[in-house]
Amino acid sequence: MRRIVVVGNGIAGLTACDSLRSAGFDGELTVVGAERHHPYSRPALSKALLHGADGKSDDALRAHELPAPSHEATELLGVGATGLDVDARLVRLDGGGELPYDGLVIASGSRAKRLAVGHGPAGPDQDGPVRELTLRTIEDAVLLRERVASRPSVIVIGGGPLGMEVASGCLHMGCEVTLVSDVRPLSRQLGDHLSGIFTSTAILRGLRVVRGGKARLVDHGAGATVVLADGTELEADLVVTAVGDEPNIDWLAGSGLLSEGSLRVDSRGRLRPEIVAAGDVAFFPTLRGLQRVPLWTSAIDQAKVAAVGLLHGDAAPEFNFQPYFWTEGFGLSLKAVGFTPVVGAPDYSDPGQEPGSALMRWDNPDGSGTAAALNYRIPVPKLRRLADAGPAALRPASPARV
């Protein structure tokens, strides 16, 4: 294998390139990336950008860039893949170009879902349809920060981690914020116990939470009207939607790689011996069946496995998936290791030294454990040990007897 093409220049693509080199690949490596930027920290867009002290676009971009890659690849940035011929082993590109490969890594990521189908984000100087912003790219984040600088009223649609982090950031910027969710915010991701803590804290800090089922957007002068399933209308200057993501797999139509409209890989990330996938595009086998887990850390772990799987096949290690998730907002910081949502109250809880802090663990019905640290300082490896082995893993080892 002398030529490997990586489609996607996000964290999965970057990690795959580094892992290929670390595993001994010294051939021709080419990265195709639809985004024109070098990889940057996508989680920081919602967790930090709106909380920064400076709204300058250039500074915001530089602050979240990752270190320069060291994989010595040819990078085609701002270039999208438009098709794949698996028999000829060719990736088709924007403008009619083609890239031959011996090995292919599919890490093309995902894009934000929109409520207003066909409506692009309306910038501050644009007249047009509903002003629906999303938060997926650095451009989205810079535009959002510019728009909230004047402290408009904001409606955030979506009660998942991204929606809650955006709502927290907008509150921090001084905006009046309403969050629309069909269930209690974060309950699908975390379960009732943890979501209850986040929601009650958010409300105390000024967030208005509206339960409204499926929402739609309607033009409303310079702003927008959100119409809920029961007919209730909410008006605001700005609407941000955080209703999930869609894998960027359109370019794979007709390739024969899609199964029921998705990329389903084996435990080494393989679709074929010469093609692997990782990150937001891929369904990997887990203890709970095939799952697509669009998390930053999962993309890194999957890309490492897929890169080695591409080079070494069945001799490569299999993916041992243990989710790691973190979110911040409303003065709360949560780190969680293991499958979520969790059910009920924790089976183990250690109140931290700070008010409201806690270290918790749940015993899951499938025999696994989930550990969570809420405003509680603990290294992630130690949190993983708590998830795996329970509270006994936190006790210091007994001194050896002489």
For the chain, the domains span 3-111+246-315, 114-243, 342-392
The reported pLDDT for the residue numbered 402 is 37
For tokens 């679709």, the residue is: 271
Judged on CB neighbours under 10 Å (0-12, 13-18, 19+), 230 is exposed
Is the pTM of the predicted complex or chain greater than 0.85?
A: yes
Does residue 362 surpass a pLDDT of 70?
yes
- Give the per-residue pLDDT at 215: 83
Q: Do 3-111+246-315 and 114-243 show the same overall fold?
A: yes
Structure confidence by residue, pLDDT tens digits, 224-273: 888 898 889 999 999 999 999 999 999 999 999 999 999 999 999 999 99
Q: Residue 106 to residues 81, 225, 263: CA-CA distances in angstroms?
A: 10, 39, 10
Strands 282-286 and 263-264, by their bridges, are: parallel
- State the average pLDDT over residues 317-332: 93
| C-alpha torsion 263→264→269→274, nearest 10 | -60
Q: Fold for 114-243, please state it.
A: FAD/NAD(P)-binding domain (3.50.50)
Res 24 pLDDT > 80: yes
Out of 58-67, 79-88, 91-100, 199-208, pick the least confident: 58-67
d(CA 65, CA 181): 32
- C-alpha–C-alpha distance, residues 205 and 208, integer Å: 9
Tens of pLDDT along 31-69? 999 988 877 888 888 877 676 544 454 555 555 566 566
Query: Which class in CATH covers the domain with range 3-111+246-315?
Result: alpha beta
- The lowest-confidence range among 70-79, 119-128, 166-175 is 119-128
> Identity (one letter) of the amino acid at 276?
V
CA gap 189, 183 in Å, rounded: 11
Residue 283 has pLDDT above 90, yes or no: yes
For the chain, the average pLDDT equals 88
* Banded pLDDT at 122 (limits 50, 70, 90): very low
* β-strand pairing of 348-351 with 216-220: unpaired
Residue-wise pLDDT for 124-152, tens only, equals 334 444 468 999 988 898 899 889 999 99
pLDDT tens profile 154-190: 999 999 999 999 999 999 999 999 999 999 999 999 9
User: What pLDDT was estimated at residue 377?
Assistant: 94
Distant-in-sequence, close-in-space partners of 381: CB < 8 Å, separation ≥ 6: none
